[in-house]
Amino acid sequence: MQSFPNTDVQVLELRAEPNDRRIAEVGWDRAALGTIIRSLGDGAWLGEYFDGQARLPVILRTNLEERPEDLAQAPLITPSGEVVPLGELVTLRTTLVPEQIRRVDHHRTVTLTVDPPPTLSLEDMLAKISNEIVPTLRADLPADANIRLAGSADRLDTIIQTMSGNFLLALLVPLALLSSVKPQMELPIKVANKQMSATVRTVVPVGEERSRQFELRMILADSAFNVGSALEVGLPERDAADALVVPRDAIAVRQTGNYLMRIRRDNTAERVAITSLATDGDLVTIDGPVNAGDVVVIRGVERLQHGQRVTILARDAALQTDPNPDA
């Protein structure tokens, strides 16, 4: 265990205990007298002076001797016009203190650093400190004193909570998908019949030469499954982009070219030639004279003829938007 500042090394400290009543009688307060006392020691900082090239500190310092008896006899001209010695306004006394004064949040502080032995875990060490050492210290400290556990001890509860609620997944992914996976990307995860998502934490951009794979690390927030469970991860084949997609069954595939059937405002079918670009599950990205919001047939496309009148019984929820005025 180590302490900072070192409590074993002590030096003499000169303390000035103010006489508030006498200070008020001569027209001062503690703040003003504090500036005067600092000027009798290392000096009181009054501000800065800029000479056009550099800023110079302005410090008020006296040339009195630094012995306590000399400081106590230092004459002071007060706002009331009275000349009084410093010893009439404060009581000067010396005491042994640590060689440094350390403050945290304006409170005088001593930090104790404890390194547990290799045979004792951090959790057990914290329990021992909290149950045995802290109560003893509180009994010897003033009522307004405070004890705070910080450092690794302060972060232990947060670490345990984070580890218990998050799992780290490490996957080997084909190098061809390296440019499509980015940190912070949300990817779908399937465990048995349960769907969830995982966040990409790290993409290790170094592939293994033989397997042609790179490592992908993801954080899974939902831990409600057994370790060792089989997972299915959905990986993007290309960068995300805006595209026009239709259900796979909406496309009629022919040797002469693919097409879909769009429904006009007069409830007649219109044959529209399209080009299939890419697939994503049951959706197909297409290119052609089709606009978002057009009503297309997703079942029985092959049986419809161009210009045939139809009756719309139901619409797919994904396509229930305002139709194109020209459709």
Average pLDDT, consecutive stretches of 10 residues, N- to C-terminus, the chain (327 residues):
74 85 90 86 85 87 73 86 90 82 79 80 79 87 82 61 63 80 84 80 77 81 65 76 86 89 91 86 87 88 88 61 40
Torsion 20-78-30-27 (CA) sign: positive
Q: What is the pLDDT of residues 48-84, one digit of tens each?
A: 888 888 888 898 888 766 677 778 888 889 988 889 9
Give bridge partners of residue 167 from the DSSP assignment. 220
| Confidence at residue 64, expressed as pLDDT on a 0 to 100 scale | 67
pTM: 0.34
If we measure between CA atoms, which residue out of 123, 146, 213 comes closest to residue 177? Answer: 213
Q: Could you please report the per-residue DSSP string of 179-227?
A: GG--TT-EEEEEETTEEEEEEEEEEEEEEETTTTEEEEEEEE----S-T
Query: Angle 86-88-91 (CA atoms, 0-180°, nearest 5)?
Result: 80
| Confidence at residue 327, expressed as pLDDT on a 0 to 100 scale | 33
Maximum distance among all Cα pairs of the chain, rounded to whole angstroms: 114
Quick check: 241 and 195 in contact, CB under 8 A? no
Give bridge partners of residue 210 from the DSSP assignment. none
**Residue with structure tokens 């056009």?**
52
Residue 18 main-chain phi, psi, to 5 deg: -75, 145
Contacts of 127 (CB under 8 A, 6+ apart): none
Taking CB atoms within 8 Å and a gap of at least 24, the contacts of 201-208 are 201/168, 203/178, 205/178, 207/175, 207/178, 208/172
